[in-house]
Structure 1
């Protein structure tokens, strides 16, 4: 089988390596973003070294639906195109350019949580179980037949980083057998049950501003959901944007006479902020949005900004 891979993130790198290792597949090319467009993905990965190791040409482009992309695809004549880690919607011409179809990866238990930003949404919704899904791409939104799916538990203290890592491990474990089945025309294609379909919408930087009037558990969940490899949850502190990278809810019985969003105490490992339910968040890792770390001695007595 001849394949093209389209992607620019860690899941793309895993797919590249799996395709390169499989004797049943010939990796005709890898399409990825040029370095100057790396900001499109907060988890962008440079695939050049892996492409060289695989002996496959690396083609950089900004628009997968462009004439230039279509010309490259036509010259390679792939059986399948793997679209794994690419944010653009596949147009009709692109979808028709592979002889047998397009294969995608989604870090959610399809048909649940189709759409965007599903790793943060999984944590924000307090989902107890997730799954990594490989599927045939059709005209819908993550709605094509399932080729492989691996379920796992989501920990109560899961972060974006730990959940991301779980999905990458599942993809690496699941993809080789799916590649074998597809190459041998033995893939088990399971239609998605539309009765259980839900959708996740795009998240923007302003959606990650911390609302200190919320309960400590909810504010802490936002911090866990928006952290690395994503830009992070943030607040304003003395006129400066501060990204909160790690925090945990704590009791604050001694600070009943304090304002919501107020930094009430400095500790050796961080500082305490009072939340709307009277509990607090112990912030143990933080940074300036643009200038790097802010020392703990610089923040005592200031007030974190509430959501506008």
Structure 2
């Protein structure tokens, strides 16, 4: 098939590679414009742009993919279809009609669950046991188009959002390739999404990533894993400064004061609304991440030291 591929972050790379390895002609790769560096430093191309250039593919980085001039460029490619993975722009009707068969999106949930920007993070945060990937024909609604294919993936007890997304990117790459091929062969049968079971996955903000130590330990555990690696779960330290916190382990010990720090031979624990949790690593603002035990020994906080909002 003659295809267009639209994507931006690293999670889109397995899908791009799968289409190329599958013998398809990727005639154009569409990705977000290069990110501006801090304090006037050089700009940074997206992971998809870098991989596409390595593969010798033509790349476009429109600021607005729905502008008439870019729509005409896409139309001139005369692609059979387009595959989309985490591109980052809303695609308008004129662009969607610029390929022969449409645009197929790979979304990392079992739709209609967790429509939106952060399906993996929200699934972990909610305590779901199973998630997956879905392919669908893009229409004007947010992740509402007719489904072509789906795959499921178990959420493991210690999964961070990064862990789970890495696995789903691989599972999804095969699913997207198979869905586009089925569409091209005329055997795909897109079906409307169920009206039951709809949920929404808003992007996690910095405020969402603030750890609430007064919540039960299992909720704290899920919240931190959902925010790892991005946007990064964080808390305030006893001196009022902030720090990112890595995944924790529920200890099963007796309840203690939320946020209260304790050290023992195995490391550092923090109190929650139920059982204490054991810390893995911590990254105070402006410093590198370090083992929680090493941080505790260097910080020398007193016996009454607590984490939480100052």
Normalised-by-shorter TM-score class? 0.7 to 0.9
String of CA shifts for 1:35-94, please: whole Å, max 9, x gaps.
32599xxxx952344313433112223322234532431332322222211222222322
Q: What pairs up with 1:135-214 in 2 under 5 angstroms?
A: 135-214=136-215
Q: Does residue 290 of structure 2 align to residue 287 of structure 1?
A: no
Q: Which consecutive residues of structure 2, in runs of 5 or more, have no partner in the other structure?
A: 39-44
Which stretch shows the higher mean deviation, 61-70 or 162-171?
A: 61-70
The answer on whether the counterparts of 1:10 and 1:168 sit within 8 Å (CA) in structure 2 is no
Q: Please report how far the alpha carbon of residue 118 of structure 1 lies from its aligned counterpart in structure 2 after TM superposition.
A: 0.8
Counterpart for residue 90 of structure 2? 89
Give the match's secondary structure for 2:163: helix
Does residue 1:275 correspond to 2:272, yes or no? Answer: yes
Name the CA shift for 1:73/1:121 in 2 (closer, same or farther; >3 Å). Answer: same
Residue equivalent to 2:26: 27
Q: Does the CA contact (< 8 Å) of 2:32 and 2:63 recur in 1?
A: yes
* Residues 92-132 of structure 1, C-alpha deviations (whole Å, 9 max, x = no match): 32222223211101111111221221111101111111121
Whole-angstrom CA distance in 2 between matches of 1:150 and 1:191:
17
Mapping 1:1-308, distance limit 5 Å = 1-23=1-23, 25-36=24-35, 46-228=47-229, 230-237=230-237, 238-253=239-254, 256=256, 259-263=257-261, 265-267=262-264, 270-277=267-274, 279-293=275-289, 295-297=295-297, 298=299, 300-301=301-302, 302-306=305-309
CA gap of 1:223–1:56, structure 2 versus 1, over 3 A, is same
Are 1:111 and 1:197, in contact at CA under 8 Å, matched by a contact in 2? Answer: yes
Which whole-Å CA distance do the structure 2 matches of 1:92 and 1:180 have between them? Answer: 23
CA RMSD of aligned residues (A): 2.4
DSSP-derived class of the 2:47 partner: coil
Distance 1:34 1:102 in 2: 20
> TM-score by structure 1 length?
0.87
Alignment partners' CA distance in 2, 1:65 and 1:299: 56
Distance 2:155 2:283 in 1: 27
| Unmatched segments (≥5 aa) in structure 1 | none
Q: In the alignment, which residue of structure 1 is the partner of 2:42? A: none
Deviates more, 1:29-38 or 1:10-19: 29-38
Give the Cα separation in 1 of the matches to 2:65 and 2:162.
Answer: 28
In the alignment, the residues of structure 2 paired with residue 130 and residue 38 of structure 1 have an alpha-carbon distance, to the nearest angstrom, of 35
Number of aligned residues: 296
- Evaluate the alpha carbon distance shift between residue 201 and residue 49 of structure 1 in structure 2; reply closer, same or farther with a 3 A threshold: closer
- Compute the displacement of 1:293 (Å): 2.9
Offset at residue 171 of structure 1 (A): 1.2
Preserved CA contact (<8 Å) 1:13 1:45:
no
* Counterparts of 2:245 and 2:77, CA distance in 1: 46
Distance in 2, matches of 1:16 and 1:38, equals: 26
Q: Hey, what's the Cα distance between the residues in 2 that align with 1:37 and 1:288? A: 26
C-alpha separation between the residues in 2 aligned to 1:86 and 1:66?
16
